[in-house]
Amino acid sequence: MTSFLHRPLHSSDDLFRRLRGCFPAAEVERAVTAAGVEVLGVRVPRERARDVWEEWRGRHGESGWWPYITLISPTDMAERRAELGRDDGVLEHWVREAVCQDHDATAASILVSACRWAVEEAANVDDDLDLWRSVYDPDRLAPLLQPPVERPLRGVSHWATGTRDFFTEDLRWLHFVAARGGYEVPVLLPFLYTTWNWSGYADRGLTPLDASALLRRWHEQWGAELFFAMGPRLELVVDRPPLDPRGAAQAVAELHAYCIDTVQDSVEAGDTMARSTMWSLWWD
């Protein structure tokens, strides 16, 4: 097994045997991507996907394998076209960068780039540029939001456990990849979800390293954890979402910079999604 700087406490053989023991009637599968990343998975009922994920997330510290929900098998994941051309050296470099990079600085840079693109490229001559800037400036956005709330709003999964759009199958796949946290998944499996197929902002196309930096920042700042990933869709379970206007404004500004397709109304998102326990993102 290729470690990519992270050697899990349990080997893939140990995890595979454990999954078969815990899910004797379920389909259990393992595969290796062209770049050498091992992916293990077990099929679970859709309605139990969140509970099973929570259980195995709680075991991450003892196993070193990060769980996430998706719709495809490990074999299908390993065969995805995006892995072509990604060798061990490339992923070793990416993971090293993901571990060492200043993720707060990267997130700030993404925010600045998004604001510059909005003002210089997307805004019309008649647009209120101050309104455009308020979307990306938490100090301007915070006064437009509702007062603090006492407890997080309840977030609802659209795709991992729901039946929205074409996500109507009764079963989901619970995958495992050797990683320090969900924030490393974008660099280990670069096209598990495909935000970077879209060209992004005119002066900065976002990369797997950008995604890793944002996910790690959100993990440290608000307890956001990668929960579901598939195609142009991503869901994060958020343990400590911001409850006050300033914190919500900061979160929604970064979410808007990352996924303008979902966060189109920053005031609404700042009052709702940013303060909830589930962040569901979708790229058009």
DSSP letters along 140-207, please?
Answer: HHGGGSPPP-SSPBPP--SSSSS--TT---SEEEEEEEE-SSGGGHHHHSTTSB-GGGS--BTTB---
Neighbour tally for 34: CB within 10 Å: 15
Query: pTM for the complete prediction?
Result: 0.89
Return all residues near 6 (Cβ < 8 A) that are at least 6 apart. Answer: 64, 95, 178, 179, 180, 184
Torsion from C-alpha of 119, 283, 195, 163, nearest 10 degrees: 160
pLDDT for res 227: 98
pLDDT at 77: 87
What pLDDT is attached to residue 110?
86
Look at residue 128 in the predicted model and tell me its pLDDT.
Answer: 61
**For the chain, how many helices (H) and strands (E)?**
12, 7
Contacts for 228 with CB less than 8 Å, ≥ 6 apart: 68, 69, 70, 157, 159, 160, 234, 235
Per-residue pLDDT of the chain (284 residues; tens, 9 = 90+): 455 567 788 999 999 999 999 999 999 999 998 888 999 999 999 999 999 999 999 999 999 999 999 999 999 988 875 444 456 677 777 778 887 888 899 888 888 888 777 767 655 655 566 666 778 889 999 999 999 999 999 998 988 987 766 677 889 999 999 999 999 999 889 878 875 443 333 334 788 888 999 999 999 999 999 999 998 899 999 999 999 999 999 999 999 999 888 888 999 999 999 999 999 999 87
Sorted by where each begins, the domain ranges of the chain are: 12-282
The span from the CA of 190 to the CA of 170, in Å, is 27
The tokens for 165 are 């759009």
Q: Are 188 and 177 in contact (CB under 8 A)?
A: yes
The pLDDT of residue 73 is 95
Q: What pLDDT was estimated at residue 229?
A: 95
State how far Cα 224 lies from the chain centre: 9
